[in-house]
């Protein structure tokens, strides 16, 4: 069906151009198909007649009639389409031939794990995500970033992009200084609540763990650094370096448990050490995009759509936090990344306009709208009907490790990607542990396990490549094949719209189409040819489930246990 849709899209573009020229020479809309709201209306819908009618100042149904006539003359339509129908104000519903729907099964089986993927486009994208300062354990908000960022990377790879994963953090700021003094206080025997305990100190139990390992003179290894403790409680700089390495190691353990890796770690201190911040400020001054007022240096960010000009250098000589961000993104551009995607919390919303303004003002050749942002809201964790706010490990919030230990990596990854990033999300621990249809990750994984069970009963040594797919005529088979054919277009849209949650939505829809098929038809039937065809459809469905789950970093188990009111159904 993928070939059929490609040929039909080209046919539609040709027909649109013909109608536009014949009725008034208006520019033809881009050819696109949509899914009808109701399956009874057809397999594909065309809405182009209405915008074309507005451009031509014609009646939409008249334009739709002309478009149908032009389509019917196209060889691809004659080959793959059973019927074209005009509905409502000018919709065109298209019913595919059975052969067009059935073709997707062979296409999936032939492509296997590369089904839906596009060839390399020769372009590089950097996705920066998590980017947590090493001041404590990763919390569930970082977990949402990790799930979003890693899925975004996988999604961009399906579209042929060369993907680079980057983690940016500060190892020398005020928060890091607080980390060092908190650890030093623990080393000197003080505890939260003591009179000598620093007012702004971090109170989690992890501070005591860092202090104990520092006193023991241990060496800690992280992905991007290592350090050996001196054991001296007066060695504040050594305490700082040890604490940073210790917490970076803890972050690495969390991310490894979550199945997330990075290609590079970038330090904010490196921007100052390498002179990139000073160079960026010099660029902006030379471009005439700054002014001084009240002893501070300001950026004329209102010239680029910001709601007010922004302070760059305060009267005390220190830079505001967006200045190193501008320097960092100039360096991203200079490293050859055509596209940059930043996954951050919604509290970073205010930085977007000023960072983009700084990039434009610097005259470094960075295109407008660079970088892209995916901003996410925080996560509320519920367990036993109650909100959980405190972790013993962190002292004030639920950690990513807590969530993984309470449920599973698969559940955490799927749940955290299952809603649009800019929506509030409640992570229900009890639901994530439930083996039932209302648990979305179980519902999807169970579909895969059910298929594996049927295929095992049929016999793995049998050949489904030569199946007679023309036998797949049941309504639930047609619906399932249409959903399989949606996969490549869904991936393309999700990547272009920076919407990895669309993959989770698709998986639930595909699983629902399969479960409906499972309830309606028997697979291990006496008719050998029909059984073979149905096994081919099941194998193709399992393949697409695996492919889509892999984009989210979620496994596709071959065996699961489903709870029911009076029994347990074991699929193995």
Give residue-wise pLDDT tens across range 316-352: 999 998 999 999 999 999 999 999 999 999 988 989 9
The pTM score is: 0.90
Residue 31 has a pLDDT of 83
Q: Which uninterrupted H or E stretch holds 240? A: helix 236-257
Q: From CA 44, how far away is CA 82, in angstroms rounded? A: 12
User: Which CA distances in Å does 473 have to 96, 240, 523?
Assistant: 13, 68, 13
How many Cβ atoms from other residues are within 10 Å of residue 149's Cβ?
Answer: 27
Using alpha carbons, select from 330, 417, 421 the residue that is nearest to residue 371.
Answer: 330
Q: How many CB atoms sit inside 10 A of residue 352's CB?
A: 17
pLDDT at position 564 over 50: no
Contact by Cβ (8 Å): 483, 104: no
Same topology between domain 2-96 and domain 440-571: no
Laid out side by side, the sheet with 310-313 consists of 290-293, 296-299, 310-313
Mean pLDDT of all residues in the chain? Answer: 92
Distance CA 15, CA 49 (A): 11
Domain ranges for the chain: 2-96, 174-245, 379-432, 440-571
The angle subtended at Cα 76 by Cα 74 and Cα 82, nearest 5°, is 95
Which two structure tokens, joined as six digits, stand for 290? 């700054």
pLDDT for 43 beyond 90: no
Instruction: Inform me whether the pLDDT recorded for 267 exceeds 90.
Output: yes
Dihedral sign for Cα 321, 327, 332, 333, please: positive
**pLDDT at 565 (0 to 100):** 40
pLDDT higher than 80, residue 567: no
Residue 469 has pLDDT above 90, yes or no: yes
First to last CA, the chain: 31
Is the model's pLDDT at 425 over the cut of 60? yes
Hey, what are 144's tokens? 């949402």
Residue 42 has pLDDT above 90, yes or no: no
227 phi and psi, to 5 degrees? -160, 145
Q: Give the separation between CA 115 and CA 547, rounded to whole angstroms.
A: 8
- Over residues 492-551, the pLDDT tens digits come to 999 999 999 999 999 999 999 999 999 999 999 999 999 999 999 999 999 999 999 999
Rounded Cα gap, residues 540 and 533, in angstroms = 11
Tens-digit pLDDT profile for residues 222-238:
999 999 999 999 999 99
Architecture of domain 440-571: Orthogonal Bundle (1.10)
Residue 245 has pLDDT above 80, yes or no: yes
Give yes or no for residue 32 having a pLDDT over 90: no
Q: Which of 247, 241, 288, 19 is nearest to 133 (CA)?
A: 247
How many residues are given for the chain? Answer: 572
**What CATH architecture does domain 2-96 belong to?**
2-Layer Sandwich (3.30)
Q: What is the mean pLDDT of residues 108-122?
A: 94
pLDDT digits (tens, 9 = 90+) for 500-515: 999 999 999 999 999 9
For 429-468, how does the pLDDT look when each residue is reduced to its tens digit (9 = 90+)? 999 999 999 999 999 999 999 999 999 999 865 665 689 9
DSSP readout, 193-218? TSTTS-TT---SHHHHHHHHHHHTT-
Predicted local distance difference test score (pLDDT) of residue 570: 44
């Amino acid at each position: 069906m993928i070939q059929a849709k490609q040929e039909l899209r080209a046919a539609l573009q040709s027909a649109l151009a013909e109608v536009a020229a014949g009725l008034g020479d208006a520019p033809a809309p881009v050819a696109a198909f949509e899914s009808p709201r109701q399956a009874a209306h057809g397999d594909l819908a065309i809405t182009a007649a209405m915008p074309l009618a507005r451009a031509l100042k014609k009646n939409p149904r008249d334009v739709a009639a002309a478009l149908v006539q032009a389509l019917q003359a196209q060889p691809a339509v004659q080959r793959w389409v059973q019927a074209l129908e005009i509905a409502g104000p000018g919709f065109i519903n298209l019913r595919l031939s059975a052969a067009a729907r059935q073709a997707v099964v062979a296409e999936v089986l032939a492509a296997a794990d590369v089904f839906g993927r596009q060839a390399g486009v020769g372009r590089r994208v950097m996705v920066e995500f998590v980017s947590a300062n090493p001041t404590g354990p990763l919390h569930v908000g970082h977990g949402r970033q990790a799930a979003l960022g890693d899925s975004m990377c996988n999604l961009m790879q399906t579209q042929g992009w060369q993907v680079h994963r980057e983690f940016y953090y500060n190892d020398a700021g005020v928060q890091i200084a607080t980390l060092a003094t908190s650890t030093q206080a623990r080393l000197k025997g003080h505890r939260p609540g003591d009179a000598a305990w620093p007012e702004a100190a971090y109170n989690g139990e992890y501070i005591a763990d860092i202090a104990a390992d520092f006193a023991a003179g241990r060496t800690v290894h992280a992905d991007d650094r290592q350090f050996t403790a001196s054991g001296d409680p007066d060695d504040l700089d050594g305490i700082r370096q040890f604490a940073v390495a210790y917490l970076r190691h803890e972050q690495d353990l969390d991310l490894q448990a979550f199945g997330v890796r990075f290609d590079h770690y970038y330090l904010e201190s490196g921007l100052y050490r390498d002179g990139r911040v000073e160079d960026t400020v010099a660029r902006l001054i030379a471009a005439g995009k700054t002014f001084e007022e009240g002893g501070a240096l300001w950026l004329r960010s209102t010239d680029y759509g910001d709601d007010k000009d922004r302070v760059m250098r305060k009267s005390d000589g220190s830079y505001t936090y967006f200045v190193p961000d501008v320097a960092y993104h100039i360096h991203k551009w200079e490293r050859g990344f055509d596209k940059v995607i930043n996954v951050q919390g919604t509290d970073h919303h205010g930085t977007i306009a000023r960072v983009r303004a700084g990039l434009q003002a610097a005259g470094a050749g960075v295109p407008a709208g660079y970088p892209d942002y995916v901003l996410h809201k925080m996560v509320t964790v519920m367990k036993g009907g109650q909100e959980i706010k405190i972790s013993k490990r962190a002292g004030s919030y639920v950690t990513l490790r807590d969530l993984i230990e309470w449920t599973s990596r698969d559940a955490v990854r799927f749940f955290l990607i299952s809603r649009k990033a800019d929506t509030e999300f409640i992570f229900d621990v009890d639901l994530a542990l439930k083996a039932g249809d209302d648990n979305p990750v179980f519902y999807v994984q169970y579909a895969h396990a059910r298929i594996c069970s049927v295929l095992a009963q049929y016999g793995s040594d049998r050949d489904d490549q030569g199946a007679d797919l023309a036998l797949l005529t049941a309504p639930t088979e047609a619906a399932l094949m249409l959903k399989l054919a949606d996969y490549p277009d869904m991936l393309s849209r999700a990547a272009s719209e920076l919407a990895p949650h669309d993959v989770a939505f698709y998986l639930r829809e595909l699983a629902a189409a399969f479960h409906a098929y499972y309830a309606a038809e028997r697979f291990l039937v006496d008719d050998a040819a029909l059984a073979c065809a149905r096994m081919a459809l099941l194998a193709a469905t399992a393949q697409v489930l695996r492919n889509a789950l892999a984009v989210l970093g979620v496994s596709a188990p071959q065996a699961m246990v489903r709870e029911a009111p009076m029994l347990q159904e074991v699929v193995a």
